[in-house]
Chains A and B, each alone.
Chain A
Amino acid sequence: MSAGRGGLSSALQAALGRAAGALVFPLVAIALALAVGAVIVLATGNNPLAAYRALAVGAVGSPAAIGRTLLNATPLIFTGLAVAVAFRAGLFNIGGEGQLYIGAITAAILGVSLGFLGPLAIPVVLLACLLTGFLWGAIPGLLKARFGAHEVITTIMLNFVAINLATYLALKPFRTEGLVPGTDFIDAAARIPTIGLGLGRANYGLFVALVAAAAVYLLLWRTTLGFRLRAVGLSPGAANYAGMSIGTSTVLALAIGGAMAGLGGGVEVMGVYGKMSIPFVSNLGFNGIGVALLGRNHPAGVVLGALLFGGLASGAQELQFETDVPLDLADVLLAIILLLVTATRLVELIFGKRVREMASGTRLDEGLAS
């Protein structure tokens, strides 16, 4: 990045430098993960090049493949945002999984009976998912602000509670007759339509996700509230000294995160499945952690990260079909990426000391119960 003196203006140069810097950690993590993945594929007796080719074809090789990638990416944008908002406020939200279930069961229950609202059904049900996710997300916030219970453990525990709660609702009071255990199909008025264009089941939920990402960006970087959340995240002591309440920030950040994941659950039910069957999709919440970290907890990065992970997931189906590499390779790659993406020292060894500052926005370095 050494443009001449008379070349780029210094502001643009600085912006480009920052953007390039922001990409160093994710790109190194992805490259190393693919290399490790190649070794794993070799160990299974397959050709890594053929495997990665199948992965790419499965991810973006045809309109149907692109549709699958977009379909997979949509919920990950929401759960990635759920992690990112909290992270910016200095909190680690591992509760996306449960928050997504809460939103999903909300949509599955309300979607059946709110069809009479006609064109208003979709926004009203989505708003309800946003609200239930917000309230569920506020619980670990309150537990931390009020009692000092660390959010890493409480959000994980609340996942199990939420999954059991949603399962109970879908299997007992709201269960429908039928072979597949779960709720009834929601009203057609509450179904989010598919995009078409040969993209298969990809639906307009994707645009809801993009709007959510834009909203999170505006909230965090263009409002006073967002400034407060980030200030508390960067330096709780200084923010507190400046008169900002750490407790309020904690509750709001986790609640807004919960709202994002809840919205994601609603979009899955309204755009993809039309109902909540048990067992419901799993790991979307956990994979959101990888998406957020890879995207450096920035909404634009989250969208890119979700597209990458969505592509990995749809590519893995083709991979399992073409070779005998199990489709779980996608999950393994994702875990390796997550393992590497904050490895400051590793990237430093490769690129030298100056990349150290580029790691900002990806670390909490705060112990349990501290």
Chain B
Amino acid sequence: MEELLGGLSPLLASMVRNATPLVFAALGGMFSERSGVVNIGLEGLMLISAFAGVAGAFYSGSAWVGLLFALGAGLGFALIHALMSITFEADQIISGTAINLLALGGTGFLMELVFGRSGTSPRVQGFEPVAIPILSEIPVVGRAFFDQSLLVYLMYAMVPLTYLLVFRTPFGLRLRGTGEAPEAVDTAGVSVARMRYYGVALSGLLAALGGVYLSMGILSAFTEGMTNGRGFIALAALIFGRWNPVGAAGAAFLFGLAQAFIFQAPQDVIPLEFLQMIPYVLTIVVLAGFGGRAVAPAAIGKPYRKE
């Protein structure tokens, strides 16, 4: 029994670490999609922010400056997506795909310029784990949930905050209305384009938190392509969670648990390559099982043109 619980704590801790970037990105995706803009570019938003955070910390020596850089990069790239898909009426899925490719090529380009190398950046000051007194003393779960980076605690706070913002404020009502019935929102005198800009901008900031956690909460260095599909897994979590912050976070923890198993499973029995497939296969299974029945915001994906 003791042995079983001893193995459980690292597994749970790994689940939290893997779930954190997914929760941030899924919450970000929710703001964008609730406003009616598909954000397939979450992956790229996380990647460019992960890089910007490390670059900021590298220049300043401060993790907090890094975080500001990351938020700026996430917001900037999100606004490109907003400009293209809202103002210029580009196809949202294609614009998002372009954001992903831009982040992939852009980080490769900037790695050479900033660090003079490709692959992995130098180590920088990151967000180290901070144990919360008393809570971290709880057996098994304490260390797993409450001896983590500050960004993880921010993630815990974001879930209820996001819920309240979306479901209990006038802003949230307008945002949801924009995704469901833009004509009605327009008639009520609220600018559809502005609400959508807010939605996409918030998705950039939240995805940036996810990206910066990857590069500065876990590793303290940037590696090219380090997001490894997490932006897409977060989108699946969002759909699985039916565009609800609590549901999306729950789904993200499920995916985090699947990723945690990769590091815990015996590799001599199951080849590493098959273990690495697990989160992706799980995503497909979840989408096939639940995605078809989930109902997206009604006006999602369609540019709104005021006539």
Query: Which A residues have a C-beta under 8 Å from some C-beta of B?
Result: 40, 44, 92, 94, 143, 146-150, 152-154, 156-161, 164-165, 167-168, 171-172, 283, 286-287, 289-290, 293, 326, 328-332, 334-336, 338-346, 362-370
Contacts and interface: CB of A to CB of B under 8 A. Distances in A.
In this complex, the member of B40, B105, B289 whose beta carbon has the largest number of chain A beta carbons within 10 angstroms is B105
B108 A152 contact: no
Given A153-B235, A335-B102, A364-B93, A344 B112 contact: no
Contacts of A334: 101, 105
B88 A326 contact: no
B256 to A, nearest CB: 16
A277 to B, nearest CB: 16
B45 interface: no
Nearest to B275: A164
Interface string B89-129: 11111110111111011101101110000000000000000
A328 B112 contact: yes
Contacts of B95: 339, 342
A133 B140 CA distance: 47
B221 interface: no
A219 B67 CA distance: 52
13 contacts: A148-B292, A156-B229, A160-B228, A160-B280, A165-B273, A287-B101, A330-B105, A331-B104, A339-B80, A364-B93, A366-B93, A367-B301, A370-B296
B109 A156 contact: no
A40 B280 CA distance: 36
B237 to A, nearest CB: 11
A160 B89 CA distance: 31
B91 A365 contact: yes
**Secondary structure type dominating chain B contacts:** helix
A147 B288 contact: yes
A150 B277 contact: no
B232 A156 contact: yes
Contacts of B283: 153, 157
Q: Would you list the 9 A-B pairs with minimal beta carbon distance, nearest first?
A: A148-B292, A331-B105, A367-B301, A367-B300, A335-B102, A168-B273, A326-B112, A328-B108, A339-B98
A154 B232 CA distance: 9
Given A326-B111, A336-B98, A364-B93, 15 more contacts: A143-B287, A149-B284, A154-B284, A156-B229, A157-B283, A160-B276, A161-B280, A171-B273, A283-B104, A290-B101, A328-B108, A335-B99, A364-B91, A366-B93, A368-B38
A342 B273 contact: no
Contact of A157 (B229, B293, B300): B229
B239 A369 contact: yes
A369 B239 CA distance: 8
A368 B301 contact: yes
Contacts of B301: 365-368, 370
Contacts of A168: 271, 273-274
B236 interface: yes
Given A148-B292, A156-B229, A335 B101 contact: yes
A326 B277 contact: no
Contacts of B233: 157
A368 B232 contact: no
A345 B100 CA distance: 22
Interface in B263-307: 271, 273-274, 276-277, 280-281, 283-284, 287-289, 291-297, 300-303
B239 A368 contact: yes
A342 B288 contact: no
B103 to A, nearest CB: 8
B147 interface: no
Given A365-B303, A367-B301, A339 B287 contact: no
Contacts of B98: 290, 335-336, 338-339
Interface string B193-225: 000000000000000000000000000000000
A198 B93 CA distance: 41
Contacts of B99: 335, 339
Contact of B102 (A336, A342, A365, A369): A336
A164 B273 contact: yes
